[in-house]
Every structure is written in structure tokens, then in C-alpha cells.
A and B are shown apart, each in its own frame.
Chain A
């Protein structure tokens, strides 16, 4: 998804530069490009609230970009302490309560410039994209960009971008009834200026006695997976395929990712094992993520994503061996 976003951003940037070089583009697609690139270009620090269903949580974030690259620190302020530190291409989730560090590679997914006229095209195919009103968010003037789904296989989104820099100040996902599925809002933010070292310094030290885990599987070609979706889910293109080890005696899970440019659906395919209870098959739901499981072709197929239940079901049912 990040890859896609960056890709979308890249395309939008290209588009933006060819269409209008003005600081404040009128075209909503250009705004999307500004939003995506602002996250990499702009120094900022602030607090934001994450809401999903009845759950909400406040976090503090600081981001600095300089000649040495990208630096970020995110700290969850509610509940148990959790921290995310980004230095260049490496992202670390630090969980002091459990003396655990999870390391993710951000590099390969976040590099400009990227592909995808096709994803860009699919974004406009899947959503009606328009400019909304200008309103205030966290004390800044913000331009709303509306993405209304053209079908019922994805949620609608509204993005509020700070007018001068394009930094995203607020994001909302809504279902077809207009109910809020998920929302992220800056309560308070300072854009630009120096981001002091103290704002980026990890609060938690860790050492060799902590558990260090490396996230991420191995990216493989889609053809190599031997699986695909037929018929494809409208608007959702395959963007990534990975292999993830399941441990000894259990082989590997194949992880396919499909995206429409904003929303994404993951499909996991693993050998059907005796310990997987059959009574867990079918649909499961919660605020933002829908899950659909079925057993077919000797495998357990799990589709999930921040999309309506019918979308994960349709994609899950379409996944079969041989198709790409």
C-alpha cells in the first residue's frame, strides 16, 4: 500500500508538475500528489488521535527530513508505552513492557520515483475524486479532498490537507451509510521549522537481552505463487506477492496484496492443517477490517482488508490456483 501510495504520489507529482506548478493546485488529483509527497518533504511535530469504532488513542509524532534522510518518532500516549522510531529506511517498533523490538524495512516500499500509471488510472476508476471545502484543522486551513467510491467494494474517504504544504491533517474512512469506520486527526501540529534532536530521540533504551524480531517476508513474483484471483475484483490490482514462513512442518504462507490505490486487501494462502478449526470459516467483522476465510483446494484462504465485507468475500472466493 505504501508502495502504491508512493507510486500514486509519483504519478500525481508528474501530473502535478505538468499540469500546474502553482503552490496551490486546483486539481484534486494534484492535491493527492501533494499530500503523499508532503509526508516526505515537510518537517512537522504534533499530536494526533486515532479512532476506530469505539476505540481512540492519542499519539505524538515528530518528522524531520534533512540531507541525511528521513527521521521520525511516534509515541503512543495512552495505555502502555509504545514507540516507533524511523531512521532512514529502517523502522523500529519498541515495546518496552514486553522488552521487544520489531524491525521493519521501509526502504523498498517508499522510494521515488515509481511505476503506475495503471494504479493511478484505477484510482480514478474506483473513486470520484473532488475537492471539498476549506476548513480549519488543528489551527490550519485545510483543503478537503473527497474520494467517493464508484461501487460498493470500497469505503469512501475524505482527506484534509494543509493548504500551503499539503501535509495531511485529517483522514476519515466512511462506509456506504456515511458511518465513520476510521479517523485520524491532528489535534495540534507545528509544520516546518527545526525539529530538535530531543523530539526524535528514542525514549526507551534497549539491549541484547530484548527480543528482536524482523518483520517482513520475501517478495516474490506473482507467477511464482501459483495463485491468483479469477475473476479479478473490479478496481483491485495485484500489487505485491510475498512468501512468509509458517515454521517447521507447516510450509509457507503466500501473501498476495491487491490494491485500488487507496484501499488494500491481503490474501493469505496456506496449507490446510488439522489444527485450523473449520468452524472459524466465513466472515468476521470489526470496525475497520473485514475478514473472510474459506477452505479450498487443500488450502486455507484468508482475505482481509479495510474494505466492506462483500469485497473480501468476493476476492476470497475468486482466489484459486493457477490464475494470475
Chain B
């Protein structure tokens, strides 16, 4: 629910999907509190906060305790990563590390076109929550991603594993699998 709340806040949920959320907001005081906190955090990060020093401290303390507030996708991806085994763990690593050619392109198109990612990257630079996030995914050299994008990479990787590039000599087939657009960690 927090993910959806955050998505809604980011404008990632359309009106129809957001309606039940708003209903729930009205009924659920805890969720309403989260909602307000999200807004406050956003205001603080954008430098629009009129809050007291104490207020900022309190918000930041809350952030430290709950990195999920900042980057729900990242936090849940990290959580998913911990519980993952076998294939998905492999794909997550492989994808984040090397990026299949196709994967790279998919990633590039998904990531670059994703406002939330840009927003999170921005927050990562400016927010004190950075250490928390860094700790959450120490191995990750790529920009943060949400779970859906993460899973697309896994899918593409698995697809490439079972499909050649069409009559290609042996290892040439693997060029898709090792070629990459997103090698640059600064991306």
C-alpha cells in the first residue's frame, strides 16, 4: 500500500487506479499520516519546507528509520533480492552487472523514461537517506530501479538464453547477452 501511495504521489498511478487509494486514505488514519509525511519529505527535499529545524530533524529521523519512504521500488527490490534464489537472483546480478545488449536497451528505455527513477536519483544526491539506501543495495552499480523494470531485465536475459540471434555462429549468439549499454555506473 505504501508503494501505491508513493506511486500515486509521484503521479505514476492514473486517476482510476488512484480512486480506491483516496478512499482508503480517508478511512485509514495511519495511511493518511504516511501520506502527509510523504508530502512533507518532498517539501523538505525540494527546499520548500517552512518547518522548524526540529521538524526537519524529526522527518530525517523518520527517513533514516524507513528508507522505503524514499524509494519504495528500491527498498522492495532489495527485500525481494534477499528472498530471491536461483534464477532470479542470478538474473538480478547478471542484469545489474553486465546488462544484456537487449537488456541494456530495455533498461535504458525503461530507466531513462522513468520520472520516479530520476526523482529518486535526485533524492539520493540531496537526501541524508543516501547511506541507508547504499546499505540496502551495496552491490548495485546501476541507477535505482523499480521492481517491474528489474523483472523485465530478468525476463529478457532468460529469453536471450533460449533464443539465438538467428543462424549466428556459436558464441556470436552470446553477444546480445554480454553486450551492454548500461555499463557506465554514472549513467
Contacts and interface: CB of A to CB of B under 8 A. Distances in A.
Interface of A: 1-2, 5, 32, 35-36, 38-40, 42, 44, 48, 50, 52-53, 55, 57, 59, 61, 63, 70, 72-74, 76, 79-80, 82-84, 86, 91, 93, 95, 97-98, 100, 102, 104, 106, 109-110, 157, 159, 167-168, 171, 173, 182, 184, 211, 213-217, 240, 242, 244-250, 253, 255, 257, 259, 262-264, 266, 268, 275-280, 284-289, 291, 302, 304-306
21 contacts: A32-B167, A40-B170, A55-B101, A57-B179, A63-B171, A72-B170, A80-B180, A86-B171, A93-B94, A97-B97, A171-B168, A184-B165, A215-B90, A266-B162, A275-B76, A279-B12, A279-B13, A284-B109, A289-B156, A304-B155, A304-B156
Contacts of B110: 284
A2 B3 contact: no
A284 B88 CA distance: 21
A225 to B, nearest CB: 15
A93 B174 contact: yes
Contacts of B149: 280
B86 A245 contact: yes
A91 B171 contact: yes
A173 B88 CA distance: 29
B17 interface: yes
Contacts of A257: 159, 162-163
A29 B158 CA distance: 29
A167 B156 CA distance: 27
Given A40-B170, A216-B161, A276 B106 contact: no
Given A277-B7, A277-B147, A244 B180 contact: no
A247 B88 contact: yes
Interface string B153-187: 00110110111111111111111111111011000
Interface stretch (B35-43, B77-85, B128-136): B77-85
Given A213-B90, A277-B7, A266 B169 contact: no
A91 B162 contact: no
B3 A39 contact: no
Given A35-B167, A304-B159, A288 B86 contact: no
Contact of A268 (B158, B169, B180): B158
Interface in B1-44: 3-4, 7, 12-14, 17
Mostly helix, strand, loop or mixed at chain B's interface?
helix
A250 B83 contact: yes
Nearest to A244: B87
Given A50-B179, A244-B87, A268-B155, A1 B147 contact: no
A247 B167 CA distance: 34
A76 B178 contact: yes
Interface string B89-106: 110011001100110111
B148 A276 contact: yes
- Report the 3 A-B pairs with minimum CB-CB distance, sorted nearest first: A1-B163, A280-B148, A39-B169
Q: B162, B164, B168, B179 — which one has the most chain A CB atoms within 10 A of its CB?
A: B162
A53 B174 contact: no
Given A61-B169, A288-B101, 6 more contacts: A76-B178, A171-B165, A247-B85, A248-B83, A275-B76, A280-B146
A93 B91 CA distance: 13
A210 to B, nearest CB: 12
A77 B139 CA distance: 24
Nearest to A285: B109
Contacts of A247: 80, 83-86, 88-89
B14 to A, nearest CB: 7
B97 A302 contact: no
B152 interface: yes
